Amino acid sequence: MLCGVGLWLVVACAVAGAGVNFAPSTYNPSVGEAVTFEVCGACLGSAQFRFAWDFGDDGSAGFATTDLSVTHRFDREGYVRVELLARDSSGRAFSRTKEILVGGSPLVAVRETSVEDHGTILVRVTLLAQAGLSSLALTETIPHGWQAQVVDGGGVVNPAGGSLQILWMESLDSGQERVFTYRLLPTGAGGLPELSGDASAYRRDVPTGEPQKRVKVTVCGDVTIPD
């Protein structure tokens, strides 16, 4: 979901079991806009947790609370990493990191992950057009020691050079989206991967006579998966 705490968040937690997850009210706020960050209570079970937030942009690391919902305003444009550390009464700690894109953008891409049985990771990337776009493309890096398996999404898929490269030939109007889903399978690597990727497209609203400009953005959302 690009905005709000959607069904995907709850389903992801149910599949993953114990862990921690959160979702912002938007992944693409304006500077100064109030963004609500909601911790998924269903992901935590019956344990009591204390949360420490790091909003990355203003020295607010370590902001602590027991509330499942907090609000923050970002004071500058750009990509910001938001980190949540949840610690239960026995001292066990769980963390989750997501990226937010602050400031207007004609294209926004958001990654959501869930851990499946046997340690596979289901990854869903939603690309939202906020202007008229064409030749939409997505590149997702395959972490070292993992293999990728395409689940759904259409487009032309090219698995090459340690990445998945996807191209959609049709145009999108503002408000339309494309979703691409793939699965990461471990091949003996230890630990959990950090995820990265980018999306790009041409803007269709370029004045006559001017060259088309390709917009390129980093994929926001999940950078880490439940630990």
With a pLDDT cut of 70, the percent of the chain lying above it is 85
Sorted by where each starts, the structural domains of the chain and their CATH numbers stand as 1-104 (2.60.40.10), 105-227 (2.60.40.1170)
> Could you write out the three-class secondary structure of the chain?
CCCCCCHHHHHHHHHHCCCCCEEECCCCCCCCCEEEEEECHHHCCCCCEEEEEECCCCCCCCEEECCCEEEEECCCCEEEEEEEEEEECCCCEEEEEEEEEECCCCEEEEEEEEECHHHCEEEEEEEEECCCEEEEEEEEECCCCEEEEEEECCCEEEEECCEEEEEECCCECCCCEEEEEEEEEECCCCCCCCCCEEEEEEECCCCCCCCCCEEEEECEEECCCCC
* Between residues 125 and 92, the one the model is more confident about: 125
Q: What is the pTM of this model?
A: 0.85
Is the pLDDT score of 1 beyond 90?
A: no
Please write the tens of the pLDDT for every residue from 164-206: 999 999 899 999 999 999 999 888 755 667 899 999 999 998 7
